[in-house]
Amino acid sequence: MSGGSSPSSRRNSSNSLSRDLDLSSEQGCLSIVVLGASGDLAKKKTFPALYHLFDQGFIQSGEVHIFGYARSNLSDDGLRERISGYLKGAPEEELSEFLQLIKYVSGSYDSGEGFEKLNKTISEYEASSKSESYRRLFYLALPPSVYPSVCKMIRTYCMNPSSHPGWTRVIVEKPFGKDLDSAEELSSQLGELFEEHQLYRIDHYLGKELVQNLLVLRFANRLFLPLWNRDNIDNIQIVFREDFGTEGRGGYFDQYGIIRDIIQNHLLQVFCLVAMEKPVSLKPEHIRDEKVKVLQSVNPIKPEEVVLGQYDGYKDDPTVPDESNTPTFASVVLRVHNERWEGVPFILKAGKALNSRKAEVRVQFKDVPGDIFRCKKQGRNEFVIRLQPSEAMYMKVTVKKPGLEMATEQSELDLSYGMRYQNVKIPEAYERLILDTIRGDQQHFVRRDELKAAWQIFTPLLHDIDDGKLKAVPYQPGSRGPKEADELSARVGYVQTHGYVWIPPTLA
């Protein structure tokens, strides 16, 4: 940065247009309250996301104040020091300006004294702002077990005062229950305290750039409209792979397993965007209506179309029971009973301690009829949407190999974001979703009936696993996972390509 202007003036000049467009309907002072402020989620995700929104001019000094609330005995400066440790590389003057927006309140999560104190602190800021409208956003960076008591405290002590226009909104993190009954119980408890339009159930996968691109890709391009159906697509895989294990979180992970942790929420959200019909408009409720419809069209999962795995060494963690059947890997086939997708398997696959780290959607098309080039053995056309890392979209196509011979090989048509958008910062998911909450846009948040439909799909399977009716098979860390998973994919129609590897292009 050059010149003598302050950080805030530089942000104002560079972002005034985007702010006018995005937040023109939002007026008045904004109070953002992070409950669980001393925990890892808040320090690693929530506060850094708020800083980046501040850095880009979406929230500004004089318009917003941030309040941390937790049981820890901390001062304002104590919390600021903890947060600054996760904001390495931020310009010192800008970071200092951001940290001055943060105040800390200590209190318990189930008694009124702390929340009365929190409300008093917020009210003092609101009164000093001399604003006519008060907006209060509560981010629950807390375990779901305390959601009901904390939300009751917010409802009782900390709601936006009726004397001023504005709103109160609450962000809750997953997991939203462990099965259908517990999710419905939690939904009922929160529903007694807040209206649905006040609740924002956050799934950070819906904030990822390439996930947000799915609707544009499908419905803004004539190319895909006639292809996106059972006549042309043989199968679709939605894959999440990690190259590390539970790493000290074994006790926590063992309560949930890979299906609850990844597949039932993250991958199922991606599945909705891949499989849903075109919404009437881009209004959040129209989009969420279509997501619910496609979830309600999913057939019950067949036990023979499920493979569970547990990597060798998982139970070496002293916090994991010796007899644990919790899967660290799962491959599950979903089948949609509607006109577009009848007969097309959706393979949702997730695992830990595998040979690579990536998340992607892989749409595999049917074989070319009348294969005059006899290149079928080289593999099928595939459209791959790489969600992370190295965000990209590429189409695997068969081309003529350069040279004098009429020989074919597989190559790709490639849109790699790091190459195409070299000077564009791809925002973190939490930045986008917190900003959506401030705007009141619930498109990328999970609605109550959507949550219920998702749990209805997976609860019978999860109960069978919990009851020991389905067993996890062992697999080696650093492998592709259980060989049975590859066999299941082949059995339902997936054809693996051998000899072709997509290499992310680089600027080097």
Return the C-alpha torsion angle 460, 466, 468, 472, nearest 10.
90
- What six digits make up the tokens of 63? 């318009």
**Strands across the sheet containing 382-388:** 408-416, 392-400, 382-388, 358-365, 233-241, 345-351, 329-335, 306-311, 473-475
Q: Where are the alpha helices (DSSP H) in 242-310?
A: 250-254, 257-258, 268-275, 284-296
- What six digits make up the tokens of 8? 């805030």
CA-based nearest residue to 301, from 262, 257, 367, 348 = 348
Euclidean distance between CA atoms 53 and 335, whole angstroms: 40
Euclidean distance between CA atoms 68 and 89, whole angstroms: 23
Is 266 noted as a catalytic residue in this protein?
yes
DSSP code, position 169: E
> What's phi and psi for 165, nearest 5 deg?
-65, 160
Sign of the C-alpha dihedral, residues 301, 302, 304, 310?
Answer: positive
Q: Which amino acid is at 259?
A: I
Strands 102-106 and 408-416: unpaired
Euclidean distance between CA atoms 153 and 73, whole angstroms: 20
- What six digits make up the tokens of 118? 């929190």
Q: Which of 65, 266, 286, 337 is catalytic?
A: 266
**Length in residues, the chain:** 508
The answer to whether the CB of 311 falls within 8 A of the CB of 258 is no
Q: Which residues contact 53 (CB under 8 A, 6 or more apart)?
A: 59, 431, 434, 435
The answer to whether the CB of 431 falls within 8 A of the CB of 52 is yes
DSSP code, position 302: P
Euclidean distance between CA atoms 288 and 10, whole angstroms: 38
Report the largest interatomic distance among the alpha carbons of the chain, rounded to a whole angstrom: 82
CA-based nearest residue to 341, from 280, 275, 385 = 275
Coil vs helix vs strand at 334: strand
> What's phi and psi for 491, nearest 5 deg?
-65, -35
Q: What does 403-432 look like in DSSP terms, one character per residue? A: SSS--EEEEEEEEEHHHHTTT-PPPPHHHH
Cite the active site residues.
266
